[in-house]
Structure 1
Amino acid sequence: MDDLEHAIVTADPPLRVQQYRPMVRRYYECITSVYRHFWGDCYHFALFRDRESRTDALAATEHMIADEGRFRPGMDVLDVGCGLGGPALNIAAYSGVSITGVDLCEHHVRIASERALARKMQDRVSFRVGDGMHLPFADDSFDRIYVFEAGCHMPDKAAFCRECARVLRIGGEFLGLDWMQSNGLTQAEADRYIEPICQFCSVPDLISPAMMSNYLRRSGFEVLRSEEACSQQSLLRNFQVPEDAPPLLPGDWDATALQRVSRGGFALEEAARAGAFIVGRWHARKLA
């Protein structure tokens, strides 16, 4: 998919669903280097507490998932939408679990695998290309699954939940943080605030925590938590460019990449300030 095709697809909600794979791949082919320049190898939102740095907040957010899920050595854990492998490598080092990461983007998987080798963690952390709605694993393969802001790119969140239930062992737990819309938005509010996010960030649509709870229960999970993850003030801190980010030099990236990141960031921040966009958090356990 070239840039013109990508622009046509992202502007059309049905096309975003039908062509989500090439759409998402093209988006990250374009903007990954920009994200990495400013936000490093863990470019999910941080749940800030007090005045901690972004680095500390990111680590605390990842440790929170591992602690809540009671990750421990000997567990097999799946990271869906692993990106460049930052969270997987950090969580494996923190908790001692073995992690398999899957991502739609081949270049993400390549970079993540190189980083695991560089950190000498390739024996416990591995990465492969995969789709969260069609996971390339046998039934009952994992003790835990977690997600950092990847389910939003999937057009069928119900199918995603069913797949996670399928590959989890009985009693296994599914945890995540993801882009969502707040509960109870009107259609006019969704059109005003959520549609620009979907268009500029290559997202088919956004669901609410209430909808996520419903999908989890229908997939055979006991829902332990499904809620807004952080305060508006904490969320808005994520839109500040880190003070230690390297300077942007002329010619570093083409105009398309910078435009996509800036337009997406503006849409996200505007929706967050209006209370329409949130980071949702869930924790569920697979029933027998």
Structure 2
Amino acid sequence: MTETTEATFARYLRLAAEDDGPRGEHCLDLVTSYYDLVTDFYMEGWGPSQHFAPARPGASPTDILAEGERYLADRAGLRPGMRALDVGSGVGGPALTIAAYSGAHVTGLDLHPGRTEHARRRATDLGLRDRTAFVEGDAVRMPFDDASFDVVYAFEAICHTADKGRAHAEIARVLKPGGLSIGYEWLAADGLSAEDVRRLIEPLCRYYALPQLATPARLAEQLRCAGLTDVVVGDPEATGDLSPTWDHLDQLADLGEQLGDSPVRTFMAHGARALTRAAREGAFLIEFWEARKPEGREPEGPAV
């Protein structure tokens, strides 16, 4: 590890060790420090699409993730002439797949300048500069005009925000009337005890730069308070069976622990163990959501 990486890792560990309130107060530093540390490892082990999808025998992780992205594009009804926003677009994997597949124009929004620049380079390499744009910015203060997009989606990204209600209110603001908010989110199960949160959810927050996790009920409330209607949270068809994915993640953790060549890699392996444990005990969920901005009026009510 270089001295710079050591300093970044130390800062991240200090920020992540705080309770959920202070983690939220330092959210921008927490998240950007995290991705300074892990992006190269994610590219090595996961590729440019850094989210989860159901694993299956004989299919490569790259193909599985792209299929999930195309599924979302189809479900959202994306087609040429439409404009979509990818919240937390990272290095651009889903945005570029969806733009190429659907013909829609996709704008990616991400906090991390290095990941945003990487996405721009990949768009150039893939000949998709005319169908994409990648913008550095914060999901709770989006640098876009009202009613700019037909669809706003996110793959497991809003979990990194401290004020999730405000992020959904911003999504509602930038959606056109009749537009769709859709995506996948990391959640804690409804009804967990304080001990379950301490034992299973808090480790995830500290390993994965999460100020806190919403629950399915809380997410539905946030969507409604943002003024969105036709709210759906949870859909087995959209999510699929993630059990084989947790097995694959455990295999990656085995490899990371065996290599032992980097404190950051070891840290990530321990994080993977915490995630699969929480998922198998039913405390951690990845759920699909969708909701629509009503036609002809702006969202009502404060963000939650």
TM-score, normalising length from structure 2? 0.87
Find the partner of 1:76 among 60, 68, 83: 83
**Structure 1 unmatched runs, 5+:** none
Contact 2:229–2:292 (CA<8 Å) still a contact in 1? yes
The alignment status of 1:104 with 2:111, answered yes or no, reads yes
The partner residue of 1:276 within 283, 286, 295 is 283
Name the one with the larger helix percent: 2
Mapped partners of 1:235, 1:118: distance in 2: 30
SS in 2 for 1:146: strand
Residue 267 of structure 1: how far off its partner (Å): 0.9
Partner of 2:36: 29
Q: Give the 3 Å change call, closer, same or farther, for CA 49–255 of structure 1 in structure 2.
A: closer
CA contact (8 A) 1:177 1:280 kept: yes
Identify the match of residue 230 of structure 1 among 231, 240, 251. 240
What is the identity, as a one-letter code, of the residue corresponding to 1:125?
T
Stretch deviating more after TM superposition (184-193 or 230-239): 230-239
> How much does 1:232 deviate?
4.8
Counterpart position of 1:125: 132
- Correspondences of 1:108-187 after superposition (within 5 Å): 108-187=115-194
Q: Would the aligned equivalents of 1:27 and 1:201 in 2 still touch at CA under 8 Å?
A: yes
- Residue in structure 2 matched with residue 212 of structure 1 by the alignment: 219
**What TM-score do you get using the length of structure 1 for normalisation?**
0.92
Cα RMSD, aligned residues only: 2.1
Taking the aligned partners of 1:95 and 1:175, their CA distance within structure 2 comes to 16
- Which residue matches 2:15? 9
Give the CA deviation at 1:187.
1.6
How far apart, in 1, do the equivalents of 2:125 and 2:242 lie? 37
CA displacement 1:12-47 (0-9 Å, x = unmatched): 122210111011101101111011101111110013
Structure 2 residue matching 1:45: 3-state secondary structure: coil
Question: Which runs of no fewer than 5 residues in structure 2 stay unpaired?
Answer: 1-6, 298-304
State the one-letter code of the partner of 1:60: E
**CA distance in 2: counterparts of 1:164 and 1:152, whole angstroms:** 14
Structure 2 counterparts to residues 43-54 of structure 1, below 5 A: 43-48=50-55, 52-54=59-61
SS of residue in 2 equivalent to 1:2: helix
In the other structure, the counterpart of 1:67 is 74
Distance 1:103 1:254, change over 3 A: farther
Q: Which residue, 231, 239, 260 being the options, matches 2:267?
A: 260
1:207 partner letter = A
Equivalent residues of 1:34, 1:258 under 8 A apart? yes
Following the alignment from structure 2 to structure 1, what is the Cα–Cα distance between the partners of residues 196 and 146?
Answer: 40
Q: Deviations over 1:40-74 (max 9, x none)?
A: 11110013467643223212211111111111110
Query: Deviations along 1:160-191, whole A, 9 cap, x unmatched?
Result: 11000000010000101121111221221111
Deviates more, 1:27-36 or 1:8-17: 8-17
